[in-house]
Amino acid sequence: MSHWFTIEEIDSITYAISEYGHWERMHSYLLIGMHHALLIDTGLGIGNIKKEVESLTDLPIKVVTTHVHWDHIGGHHLFNDIFVHKEDVEWLRNGLPIPMDQIRKSIMQEPFSKKVPKDFDVNQYKVYTGNPTKILQDNEIIDIGERKIRVLHTPGHSPGHVCFWEEEKGYLYTGDLIYAGTLYAFYPSTNPKDFKHSVDRISCLKDIKKILPAHHDLNIPVDIIQRVKYAFEWIEKKNLLMHGSGVFQFEGFNIKL
């Protein structure tokens, strides 16, 4: 196993595979079913996440993508079975609308706090492009064998951003929609109003027991969803729910528009 990744057990068949050495503190998640395992995002691409997955299961792997941003698809090239929502398919096939130099600069925005793998060279870093094996639809169920995960289309941070809802366990995998940090809806490719509507949507889910975010603190209170919802409502009432409004600070999170 690589020192780059930290594996944390959520339960006996669910794992967080985290990259705490990078300033984004990225989390991918491995869900082990009876017939397949589901890997939610593949991280930054700085280390080989496939080796970590293979240390935890020998089941066939299906990779599901919360959204097609470079820090969530870094290890996609290591896998054969890639799922993505239809609204992000173009980015996956043709690349992100961001210059490669800008992405590399973002990777190195802050010093690494852990030693990176020897074979990592930021100057050789490329963002994955390719055709998905499956295009996800809103509300469809992914069945990996005695575990069923619902796809929830939650655009705003990207057009095809999705959350994954495992109702039986009460686990909500929120991607970049909800986490304890700065929520980003200021890029030209984001949509602040869609972001708000997506938060409204997941706030209606019943019996959420655990939020599993894509970044920063792995253990966050479930009530953060309602607090983010109220924050967006406050911004909207101020007629500021638009690009260029700035950074709004709240307890436990910020919103950048």
Q: What is the pLDDT of residues 194-250, one digit of tens each?
A: 999 999 999 999 999 999 999 999 999 999 999 999 999 999 999 999 999 999 999
The residue extents of the domains of the chain are 6-178+207-221
In sequence order, which residues have a C-beta less than 8 Å from that of residue 139 and are 6 or more positions away? 150, 151, 152, 153
* CATH annotation of 6-178+207-221: 3.60.15.10
Query: pLDDT for 90-119, tens place per residue?
Result: 999 999 988 999 999 999 999 999 999 999
Share of the chain above pLDDT 70, in %: 100
pTM over the 0.95 mark = yes
Q: What angle do CA 257, 246, 107 make, to 5 degrees?
A: 65
In sequence order, which residues have a C-beta less than 8 Å from that of residue 210 and are 6 or more positions away? 10, 169, 170, 171, 172, 222
